[in-house]
Amino acid sequence: MKLPVLAAALCLACTLTAHAASEIVLSPVQIKNLSITTTPLRRATSAPGLAYPATVIVPPSQLRMVAAPMPGLLTGVLVASNDSVKAGQPLAYLASPMLAEAQGSLVQAAVQAQLAQGNLKRDTQLLADGIISASRQQATRAAAASANAMLTQQRQSLRMSGVPEATIRQMEAGRASSAQISLTAPITGTVLEVTATPGQRVDANTALFKIARLNPLWLEIQLPATDAASVRPGDAVSVTGREVAGRVLSVARGASASQTVTVRAEIRGALDGLVAGQAVEARLAQAQTSGWQVPAAAVLRQGKQAYLFVRSAHGFMPVPVTLLGQDGDTARVSGALQAGQQIAVGGVSQIKAVWAGIGGE
């Protein structure tokens, strides 16, 4: 602060009068000497200058976890983080004693089902020739149905364990060469996480790979509750610095403790480089902004409270406001204000010095 201005502030601090409890009394000459300038207060608009904080997330329907279907030993890991994979592509090899047991049970069930089917075919012919009774043929039919049910159960057990269908067919035919299976990618996408290492022993259901399809992505946008009231599903969304096209999917029904509402949007386009959890700036074309739009230089912060200095009959009134958002040189606030009121935008620090009564900081 320049010395003449500091001296003026010191002098003014000593000559404050009590026109109002918190009014800062300044004459027009004093305002001029302190280089204080004002601008009329105006309502905030939905101009693209104001942005909202947003976080990038991967839609849950585009995420897959690949886990060990049974306890075993990882004999090979074929991919790394950030690799692109196709559906069905091998990710790792798992050798397991349980697989050998399941293979034996499957082969045994297949043999029993084949034998029971042969017996049923024979007894059906014998019944037609009048050689055996109908009750014997029915018993043979029941045995065949039971054997087929056991075979189906063994197949389903292996499918639920993550064993590929082609491997199950090989095992059933007795052509499987080892008790080892290939863990494959369930979708085409990008490997986000790998916790598997060759030679690692794992338990059943141990998560080994996280794979995601990264286009489209979602944004979770935080809006003041008053702004979110005008947002509707289908409204257009843009992201600062990116060539993306987006639309609002949903608007939360409740507000957080900080009185913000989460708006979820889907974005497509130039998404390369965006990662889950990344913070970005989002703009909603239809969002009707609330509050007052002011130069950022007009906002004075005193501890956790923000103020504007509003021109009064005898000087300025410090009016407490809530800061709703800021983008560059523009801020948006709410408070007990009226359109057209003159607010200080230049010389704010000088007014603060007079208000504090200490001639500056």
What pLDDT does 289 receive?
A: 61
The pTM score is: 0.57
pLDDT in tens, 48-71: 546 789 999 999 999 999 999 889
Assign a CATH topology to domain 52-58+214-284.
Elongation Factor Tu (Ef-tu); domain 3 (2.40.30)
- The percentage of residues in the chain with a pLDDT greater than 90, rounded to a whole number, is 41
pLDDT in tens, 205-243: 899 999 999 989 999 999 888 778 778 898 889 888 888
pLDDT in tens, 73-124: 999 999 999 999 999 899 999 998 888 788 888 888 989 999 999 999 999 9
Cα gap 18→152, rounded to integer Å: 92
Q: Where are the alpha helices (DSSP H) in 174-287?
A: 225-228
Q: Amino acid identity of 264?
A: R
Contact (Cβ atoms closer than 8 angstroms) between residue 235 and residue 285: yes
Cα gap 246→236, rounded to integer Å: 6
| CA-based torsion, 331, 332, 334, 338: positive or negative | positive
What residue spans define the domains of the chain?
Answer: 3-44+291-356, 52-58+214-284, 97-178
Q: Amino acid identity of 218?
A: W
Assign a CATH topology to domain 3-44+291-356.
2.40.420
Average pLDDT over residues 314-331: 83
